[in-house]
């Protein structure tokens, strides 16, 4: 993703809207812009960190750390009533990473999980999405 953002700047793009699976784009919240699984993961650390910052109990943090998939982490957060604040915090961190990596671009991201039935957007994503879909029925 980092290289794609660099290319977007080099090619003169003014904005980029990323749309991707929560498990992939969550890595951006940790500042990881090379999201290939052989390079780095960080998903569980991101979920645990943001859940802790939102006041999650230690027992939930331990379960999140042990969750085998992003969808499993989402299910744990839903069960604990913490999904919205944690995903919002993750989206904010993703937006910060994008802005830091490509300050000359207007950037946004939509993170989704079809299996878990959730999606969350960074701050600028709704405006970028509206521009992309304007005039389409």
Give the model confidence (pLDDT) of 33-82 as tens digits. 988 777 788 999 999 999 999 999 999 999 999 999 999 999 999 999 99
Considering the entire predicted model, what is its pTM? 0.92
pLDDT bucket at 135, cuts 50 / 70 / 90: low
Q: What's the pLDDT score for residue 120? A: 95
Number of domains within the chain: 1
Q: Which domain holds residue 104?
A: 2-133
Cβ neighbours, 10 Å, residue 61: 16
State the DSSP code for 103. T
Rounded CA-CA distance 52/105 in Å is 31
Residue 119 has pLDDT above 70, yes or no: yes
DSSP 27: G
Structure tokens at 136: 């389409």
Q: According to the model, what pLDDT value does residue 137 have? A: 45
Rounded CA Rg of the chain? 15
Rounded CA separation 16/81 (Å): 32
Q: Are 17 and 4 in contact (CB under 8 A)?
A: no
The predicted model gives 2-25 an average pLDDT of 95
Instruction: Give the model's pLDDT for residue 41.
Output: 87
CB within 8 Å of 54: residues ≥ 6 apart? 82, 85, 86, 89
Helices 43-53, 83-101: inter-axial angle, 10-degree rounding: 120
């Amino acid at each position: 993703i980092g290289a794609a953002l660099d290319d977007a700047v080099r090619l003169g793009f003014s904005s980029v809207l990323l749309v991707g699976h929560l498990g992939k784009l969550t890595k951006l919240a940790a500042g990881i812009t090379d999201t290939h699984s052989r390079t780095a993961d960080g998903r569980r650390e991101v979920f645990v960190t943001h859940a802790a910052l939102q006041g999650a109990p230690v027992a939930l943090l331990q379960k999140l750390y042990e969750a085998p998939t992003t969808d499993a982490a989402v299910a744990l957060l839903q069960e604990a009533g913490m999904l919205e604040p944690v995903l919002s915090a993750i989206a904010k961190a993703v937006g910060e990473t994008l802005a830091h990596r490509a300050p000359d671009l207007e950037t946004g991201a939509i993170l989704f999980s079809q299996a878990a039935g959730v999606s969350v957007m960074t701050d600028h994503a709704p405006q970028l999405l509206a521009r992309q879909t304007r005039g389409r029925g």
